[in-house]
Amino acid sequence: MKTVSLSLEEIYNLAKKTLLSNGCDDETASILSDLIRNAERDGSLSHGLFRLPAYVSGLKSGKINGKGQPEVKKISQSVIKVLGNNCLAPVVLNKGLPELVKAAKQNGVAVLAITNSHHMAAMWPETEKLADEGLVAFACTSYKPAVAPAGAIKPLFGTNPISFAWPRPGKTPIVYDMATASMAMGEVQVAKREGHKVPIGTGLTKEGKETTDPGEIVEGGVLLPFGGYKGSAIAMMVELMAGALVGDNFSYETALKDNNDGGPPSGGELIIAISPEKTSNDNWDKHADEFFEKMKSMGNVRLPGERRHKNRLDKGPRNINEELINKIKSLS
């Protein structure tokens, strides 16, 4: 695979130029380009520049509003709702998260319910921002069907990622962001592009047979939930929490409405923020750190988010797939 070396600034500038050329205003282009650069910086390749052609597809078709403004509504002291108005999720989150932070710090617990936004980015940025504010955070969102329930061979669930963050004052927070599928679809697509195999149990062919070929999963096949029936139950939970609970669609309903342009579909997201200052005692952070140290002492244990923060310390250029760069440049 041929690669091109780009600085973090060059990654940002390439993303922003492309988005501005395809219907985004400066605010939307800046927010999304920042997210794309940070994904490349942190080693989240499936959510960096790799996503840009799909964003452009959605913008060109008119499905995504690159110049829209989300509408924030305070339903109660602890419930914030944001109507996405077909904006990209990072733009919606930029409006909603500050309100969620204020509500959670005041009330101890608060909920952000998002509808009608287009989410195709990583989820750790939103939960990490909340942890940086001293809050425990949980987030989930659904997608179009790509994952078969345990015991089935046809998709019903989205990849339905969940993200959790725990604040550590003076230290980097604990953050994980994971698909409830055996593997995120973006990672399967990257494996296909780069000619890699995927582990058995990742997904099935269109005939319902197990395969290690990512192409057979992407092209008419189906992903499997992680952990069999346990992962299937968690994926179902996400469907309910990011769908019916916030007032948006289930993944199968999203698929019926989507124009299949390759861009991210419209959907919902639920974020919960909890203040340990309100729910626990003065020793909550030290108590948790003792637990993390216990984990680390048990062998080659890596806390969630450690690798990402280690990658973040490297401010140097990143090697990007040359074919992808050429494709992105052709979009401007």
DSSP 174-243: EEEEE-SBSS-HHHHHHHHHHT----TTSEE-TTS-EES-HHHHHTT-EE-BTTTHHHHHHHHHHHIIII
Q: Domain for residue 293, yes or no?
A: no
The pLDDT value given to residue 80: 98
Burial (CB count <10 Å: 0-12, 13-18, 19+), residue 36: buried
Please report, for the domain that includes residue 99, its CATH number.
3.30.1370.60
The pLDDT value given to residue 169: 95
Q: Which one is catalytic: 46, 78, 99, 306?
A: 46
pLDDT above 90 for 151: yes
The pLDDT value given to residue 261: 93
Q: How far apart are CA 36 and CA 15, in angstroms?
A: 7
Q: Domain for residue 98, yes or no?
A: yes
Average pLDDT over residues 237-252: 98
Mean pLDDT of the chain: 96
Q: Domain for residue 213, yes or no?
A: no
The pLDDT value given to residue 329: 96
Q: How far apart are CA 161 and CA 225, in angstroms?
A: 11
Q: 194: pLDDT confidence band, cut at 50, 70 and 90?
A: confident
Q: 1: pLDDT confidence band, cut at 50, 70 and 90?
A: confident
Q: Domain for residue 243, yes or no?
A: yes
pLDDT above 90 for 184: no
Q: Which one is catalytic: 40, 128, 187, 269?
A: 187
Total domain count, the chain: 1
Known catalytic membership, residue 46: yes
The pLDDT value given to residue 190: 87
**Mind listing the pLDDT tens digit for each residue in 100-139?**
999 999 999 999 999 999 998 899 999 999 999 999 999 9
**Mind listing the pLDDT tens digit for each residue in 300-325?**
999 999 999 999 999 999 999 999 99
**Mind listing the pLDDT tens digit for each residue in 268-305?**
999 999 999 999 999 999 999 999 999 999 999 999 99
Known catalytic membership, residue 71: no
Q: Considering the chain, what percentage of its residues have pLDDT values greater than 90? A: 94
Q: Domain for residue 218, yes or no?
A: no
Q: Considering the chain, what percentage of its residues have pLDDT values greater than 70? A: 100
Domain span including residue 123: 3-181+225-281+308-329
Q: Domain for residue 45, yes or no?
A: yes
Q: Domain for residue 209, yes or no?
A: no
Known catalytic membership, residue 290: no
**Mind listing the pLDDT tens digit for each residue in 52-93?**
999 999 999 999 999 999 999 999 999 999 999 999 999 999
Burial (CB count <10 Å: 0-12, 13-18, 19+), residue 76: exposed
Q: Which one is catalytic: 44, 47, 118, 163?
A: 47
The pLDDT value given to residue 90: 96
The pLDDT value given to residue 114: 98
The pLDDT value given to residue 46: 87
Q: How far apart are CA 302 and CA 311, in angstroms?
A: 14
Q: How far apart are CA 32 and CA 55, in angstroms?
A: 10
Q: Domain for residue 111, yes or no?
A: yes
Question: Long-range contact list for 126-130, CB < 8 A, 24+ apart?
Answer: 126/93, 126/97, 126/163, 126/271, 127/163, 127/164, 127/165, 127/175, 127/177, 127/271, 128/165, 128/173, 128/175, 128/305, 129/97, 130/97, 130/100, 130/101, 130/104, 130/165, 130/271, 130/273
Question: If phi over 0 gives left and psi between -120 and 50 gives alpha, with beta otherwise, what is residue 86?
Answer: left
